[in-house]
Structure 1
Amino acid sequence: MNAQPRSLATTLFPIALLLIAMASIQSGASLAKSLFPVIGAQGTTTLRLIFASVIMLLLLRPWRAKLNASTLKTVLIYGMALGGMNLLFYMSLRTVPLGVAVALEFTGPLAVALYASRRAVDFLWIGLAVLGLALLIPVGQSGTSVDLVGASYALGAGVCWALYILYGQKAGAENGIQTAALGVVIAAFVVAPFGIAHAGSDLLSPALIPVALGVAILSTALPYSLEMVALTRMPAKTFGTLMSIEPAFGALSGLLFLNEVLSLTQWLAIAAIITASAGATLSLRRETQPLVAAD
């Protein structure tokens, strides 16, 4: 009689973690935009990752992870992808609304889901994704189009996100949640030169510490730790389907915290990308394995 409640709790636990992670990271992105006028997107990314590194080093003690040449290579690529994803995404937020940037970035995990599925129905999901992109990426002088450079940054972040997922699976299977800490430290080293070159000594301003610390917790330390736990306890279908609603979290966060009002066309584009991602994930074959092995 007690087995079923335990099974339900086991199922709901990683789902709750992933939803909290999505809400946290999008709220953090909204907060991060307040630092852009002072230290730019590059400096904001640098402070975010540095503070997050310190927090995660203290909490997770990643030096206890067991690394060999193969696992170290995986973690290095994972960390580099994480750094690139953060930097390019923040660069896109300079000129692109948060919800739109997240939708464009989400083409990365969508491509991963479509590649893993390879079924005839995937042409429908590809078509929906292309439709969403066509509605978002500027063509001509439409009043609802977004900045082309900003859109390119967001798509580049999507490529890094795809690598983050692929190598996060491998790294998480080998060292669990400690991988998140190692990845953030590596990402900080990758991004720091860009932030220093852009903002210089402004990065050392004590007035920035409270906001930067909040961004680090909301956007990196908390969500990436929760996400790594969820990755190890959730089938690929469930994880991918839930991650599909990330653009909606971004759009709502932008509306609530940044007063970024999207047009009907942009909302339809986001809906198309969400539907494509969810559909691609749900069409995965039943034999698909979890994204990473459970602990």
Structure 2
Amino acid sequence: MGSVLLVLGSCTSLQVGAALAVHLFALGGSTGTTLLRLGLAALVLLLVVRPRVRGWSGLQWRAALALGLSLGAMNGFFYAALSRIDLGTAVTVEFLGPLTLSALTSRRLRDLLWVALALGGVVVLGLTGEHHGGSLDPLGVTFALLAGACWAAYIVTGARVGRVTPGHGGLAIATAVGALALLPFGASGALQAVTSPNGLWLALGTAVLASVVPYSLELAALRRLPQRTFGILLSLEPVIASLAGWVLLRQSMTALGGLGVVLVVAASAGATATAGGGPREAARRSARKGTDEPLEHLTTSGG
């Protein structure tokens, strides 16, 4: 239950931060906003965590670098999508990334059934989430799909960082790497935003709510949950995004969209209820296979 609350808290904080970021687009553009989000988040994490990297191995540095590049690309593509389509719709399309990862890494039929149910809810939300009355912006959808692919990569690399680096040091370094990767593309927009009235405070709020809090909670959850279960639980993301868009950005929500919410919540609840007992189930699998594979590895890897 604690892991579920971590994911729920992450999703809520992330979408409130995304709603704040929409107001920054007019000041610094989507790329400048992304750079501010990750750059300020990296500063906060580095100051608070103070990662001890002198003794890091090559494996730990490679893991943090891979997570950082995934973070930078995921956020860059997502904010580019958000500048063209609604928050709920963008997250719904983006969610196809972790949903596909859950399907590919699962070997149990019931997991695939929960994935199928979540996919149905995602499709309904995607079809009803846009409030402009016309067809979805194709470039916005493309950006959201690319963000989804990077989201799947983030889950895999985040689980690896959680295994090989202690505390939140790996996350702090990875966030800094993501910001540095975006620096050539968003520096001018970021500078324009922070020199605008209230722009710096708005950017700091976005960084904390959309990066520091959710990524810290997700890293903790990834240490406790299999990747497939984590990916299915993230189906709550489109639901919370639709609610945040409705409440904070006045983006519409239809009755059919409500059906999509119900389907996604049912899939998340079902995935949680049948997750399988965590370490005890892993121990039983290990005993049946006659292996001595560490429980920590079994409980953080998919399949």
> What range is the shorter-chain TM-score in?
0.7 to 0.9
Is 1:82 matched up with 2:91? no
The equivalent position to 1:32 in structure 2, one of 6, 12, 21, is: 21
Count of residues paired in the alignment: 277
Q: Measure, in 1, the Cα distance between the counterparts of 2:77 and 2:42.
A: 19
Alignment-derived partner of residue 180 in structure 1: 171
Change (3 A) 1:143 1:267: farther
Q: Measure, in 1, the Cα distance between the counterparts of 2:229 and 2:125.
A: 28
> Contact 1:232–1:291 at 8 Å: present in 2 too?
yes
Q: Measure, in 2, the Cα distance between the counterparts of 1:185 and 1:248.
A: 29
Q: Measure, in 1, the Cα distance between the counterparts of 2:54 and 2:98.
A: 27
Is 1:205 matched up with 2:195? yes
Alignment-derived partner of residue 299 in structure 2: 290
Task: Tell me the alpha carbon deviations over residues 58-82 of structure 1, each in whole angstroms, 9 at most, x when there is no partner.
Answer: 0111244742222222221111001
Is 1:16 matched up with 2:5? yes
Q: Measure, in 1, the Cα distance between the counterparts of 2:230 and 2:114.
A: 21
Q: Measure, in 1, the Cα distance between the counterparts of 2:45 and 2:163.
A: 19
Task: Tell me the alpha carbon deviations over residues 107-138 of structure 1, each in whole angstroms, 9 at most, x when there is no partner.
Answer: 11111111111445637844862784487369
Change (3 A) 1:65 1:265: farther
Q: Measure, in 2, the Cα distance between the counterparts of 1:31 and 1:174.
A: 33
Q: Measure, in 1, the Cα distance between the counterparts of 2:118 and 2:244.
A: 24
The equivalent position to 2:148 in structure 1, one of 149, 158, 167, is: 158
> Contact 2:97–2:150 at 8 Å: present in 1 too?
yes
Task: Tell me the alpha carbon deviations over residues 6-41 of structure 1, each in whole angstroms, 9 at most, x when there is no partner.
Answer: xxxxx53x3333222211111000001001111111
Q: What pairs with 1:14-163 in structure 2 (closer than 5 Å)?
A: 14-64=3-53, 66-120=55-109, 122=112, 125-126=115-116, 129=119, 132-133=122-123, 136=126, 143=133, 145-163=135-153
Q: What pairs with 1:238-257 in structure 2 (closer than 5 Å)?
A: 239-257=230-248
Give the secondary structure class of the aligned counterpart of 2:300: coil
> Contact 1:237–1:282 at 8 Å: present in 2 too?
no
Change (3 A) 1:77 1:282: farther
Stretch deviating more after TM superposition (58-67 or 183-192): 58-67
Q: Measure, in 2, the Cα distance between the counterparts of 1:237 and 1:115.
A: 9
Residue 52 of structure 1 and its aligned partner are, at CA, apart by: 0.6
> Contact 1:110–1:277 at 8 Å: present in 2 too?
no
Change (3 A) 1:132 1:209: closer
Give the letter for the 1:163 counterpart. A
Residue 231 of structure 1 and its aligned partner are, at CA, apart by: 1.7
> Contact 1:144–1:266 at 8 Å: present in 2 too?
no
Change (3 A) 1:253 1:132: closer
**TM-score with structure 2 length normalisation?**
0.79
> Contact 1:137–1:151 at 8 Å: present in 2 too?
no
Give the secondary structure class of the aligned counterpart of 2:171: helix
> Contact 1:75–1:171 at 8 Å: present in 2 too?
yes
Stretch deviating more after TM superposition (124-133 or 182-191): 124-133
Give the secondary structure class of the aligned counterpart of 1:62: coil
Alignment-derived partner of residue 290 in structure 2: none
Stretch deviating more after TM superposition (113-122 or 209-218): 113-122
Q: Measure, in 2, the Cα distance between the counterparts of 1:20 and 1:284.
A: 19
> Contact 1:144–1:265 at 8 Å: present in 2 too?
no
Give the secondary structure class of the aligned counterpart of 1:291: coil
Give the letter for the 1:53 counterpart. A
- Name stretches of at least 5 consecutive residues in structure 2 with no aligned partner: 286-297
Give the secondary structure class of the aligned counterpart of 1:85: helix
**Identical counterparts, % of pairs:** 34
Q: Measure, in 2, the Cα distance between the counterparts of 1:17 and 1:123.
A: 24
Give the secondary structure class of the aligned counterpart of 1:67: coil
CA RMSD, aligned part only? 3.0
Q: Measure, in 1, the Cα distance between the counterparts of 2:190 and 2:237.
A: 33
